[in-house]
Amino acid sequence: MPNEEQEIVKRAAGGDVDAFRYLISKYANAVYAVALNRLGQRSDAEDAAQEAFIKAWYNLTRLNEPGKFGSWLMRIVRNTAEDWWRKYGRLRDGQLEEGLFFVTHSTEEEVLQRERDRAVRTALKQLDEKYRIVAILYFISGFTIKEIAEFLHVTVSAAESRLRRAKDKLKKELFDLAEQTLGNQKLGEVFEQKVVKRIVGISCINFPVKNVEVSFQWYVQHLGCKPVREPIRFKEGTNAIIQLGENGPNVFLLEEVERTPLHFSRNGVPASLFELKTDDIESFYAQLQEDGVQVSERYDNAPCSKYFDVVDPDGNTITVAEWYKN
């Protein structure tokens, strides 16, 4: 694994969701391919792939060698898929079944496509597992043969040999057909968003503030947060609720006379309270400067994101980031 990716793994282990998003984007289809090889059903494989990434997120601090992230993730998804099979798979009618293939053609074309799909299913089921997994990874993951070898924790020559063997057994026509059929089922940004949403899907975060009205207006006006509940004054004090980002968690703004400062750190270094995503960081930055909001310099942390920090009325730091798209 390149040193650059090892650093990304380290940042993710420190709680950097942006860094973990990059890893999801890179490995999603490889993880899905492994799950699909075991479970057969596309929906089951996608669910198992999500679970594997969630497990990886919560256990990253246990990974002592960031350079072995791929093979470590491979073991997680294999175990997850096996657990899934024991719980639900026995109810399925075998691996690589009808549910694996989705047909969107007209009636006449649908019949022909089903015949092709059935031929591919039958051929893949007849392959030994070690050949089938390399083939499915080749069709779906988008990895080079070297990356497939690293992911499976085998030598490049072994991966090449197994892929050749799969090609020989499937024959050229079936191999090309399988590549086309499975290649059309790659996961995309929606899968990535689902995993990230589960990671950050906290129902409500409590923020003590000096003045609820001031903080409420500041977050809505300057950061574009959604007003969930306007400031209300109760006997116990004033509070309000805002939502971070389009689908982010809610934040409960609570006015406190003797406010307890919020302090977050990452690897011993002061960190922001949270990160907000933007699709146009240049315009966002310029607007905040025009509004007189305190902002830091802009940073380019390729291949993860471009970002800058902003300070709220209580002196808390928030990161605004624009993520790179692969």
Instruction: Name every residue whose Cβ is closer than 8 Å to that of residue 286 and which is 6 or more positions away in sequence.
Output: none
| Model confidence, pTM | 0.60
Torsion of CA 278, 282, 286, 292, to 10 degrees: 50
Q: From the first residue on, what is the mean pLDDT of each consecutive set of 10 residues in the chain (326 residues)?
A: 82 81 92 88 89 88 87 93 80 50 56 71 81 89 90 92 88 78 80 83 74 95 89 78 78 79 71 87 95 94 89 92 82
In this structure, what DSSP letter does residue 295 have?
B
Residue 318 CB neighbours (<10 A): 18
Q: Which two tokens stand for residue 214?
A: 């001031």
How confident is the model at residue 177, as a pLDDT? 78
DSSP string, 74-140: HHHHHHHHHHHHHHTGGGSSSSS-GGG----S-HHHHHHHHHHHHHHHHHHHHS-HHHHHHHHHHHH
Counting Cα atoms < 13 Å in the Cβ hemisphere of 50 gives 18
Cα 161 from Cα 175, distance rounded (Å): 15
Torsion of CA 254, 260, 262, 264, to 10 degrees: -140
How confident is the model at residue 2, as a pLDDT? 63
How confident is the model at residue 292, as a pLDDT? 95
C-alpha distances (whole Å) from 67 to each of 47, 71, 72, 90, 308 are 26, 9, 10, 36, 28
